[in-house]
Amino acid sequence: MGSLTEENYIKSVYALSQATGEVYVSELAKKLDVKLPSVNSMMKRMATKKLVAYAPYKGIKLTEKGKKEALAIIRKHRLAELFLVKVMGLGWEEVHDIAEQLEHVNSSRFYERIDELLNNPKFDPHGEPIPDSNGKIHTKKRTSLIDLAEGLTATITAVTEDEKSFLDHLNAKGLQIGDVVIIKKRELFDGSITLQHKSKKEILLTHQVAERIWVEV
């Protein structure tokens, strides 16, 4: 097993290379809040460990070994989040920071028990899929709130952000996973969206917020 720092790099490489298959040094530096040479140096080390494929001035890709490690950490992160909500009674907005630490706990027994207590859960409290113990992750194409036409009815299935500030904002608006909403109005000017909520209340979301909410029509 690698160090805590290495595990965090692997997670970031995984997350940022999801879309295009590769990630750039500068993107990693920004995400991890370190300078470029730190990333450069770590990528060299991780390349010798066969965790990433990396050639100077080229994009960084995870190897199969790297991908497996990434998914193992993500599994632990998401199991931890769900455990904190379901078993320990914490709010979905306060579990991410704790899971950032628990994901580095090295104990198969600990995570086996969490998995059992939660009955092999498939989704974390933010609607993100939990990879299984073999690293298989169930990714289906998702639709964002901003891609829905006016008048449509949809169910919120996930949010792509689990930072406290964002979730506090959704809590204040009264939105949760599983809520059914109707698209009332899409503003052309600023991309904001007005929803009709089951609670009869109308909810206004900025584009920035709406694009982070995934739905099923």
Span interacting with Mn ion, options 37-45, 111-119, 156-164, 197-205, rule CB under 5 A: 156-164
Does position 34 interact with DNA (CB under 7 A)? The reply is: yes
| Binders of a copy of itself in range 140-169 (CB under 8 A) | none
- Asked if 105 is part of the footprint of a copy of itself (rule: CB under 8 A), the reply reads yes
Q: Tokens 């960084």 identify what position? A: 60
Sign of torsion over alpha carbons 79, 80, 81, 84: positive
Residue 201, Cα to own-chain centre: how many angstroms? 28
Six-digit token pair at 86? 């379901």
Task: Tell me which of a copy of itself, DNA, Mn ion, none is bound by residue 96, counting a contact when its beta carbon lies within the kind-specific cut-off of 5 to 8 angstroms.
Answer: Mn ion
176 binds, among a copy of itself, Mn ion, DNA, none (CB under 5 to 8 A by kind): none
Range 129-142 burial, b when 16+ CB lie within 10 A, else e: bbbeeeeebeeeee
38 interacts with DNA by CB under 7 A:
yes
215 is a site residue for DNA (CB under 7 A): no
User: How far is 163 from 172, CA to CA, in rounded Å?
Assistant: 14
93 binds Mn ion (CB under 5 A): no
Q: Which does 152 bind (CB under 5 to 8 A by kind): DNA, Mn ion, a copy of itself, none?
A: none
Give CA–CA dist 153/172, Å, rounded: 22
Q: Is 67 in the site for Mn ion (CB under 5 A)?
A: no
Could you tell me whether strands 153-159 and 180-186 are parallel, antiparallel, or unpaired per DSSP bridges? antiparallel
Pick the binder of Mn ion from 13, 96, 145, 167 (CB under 5 A): 96
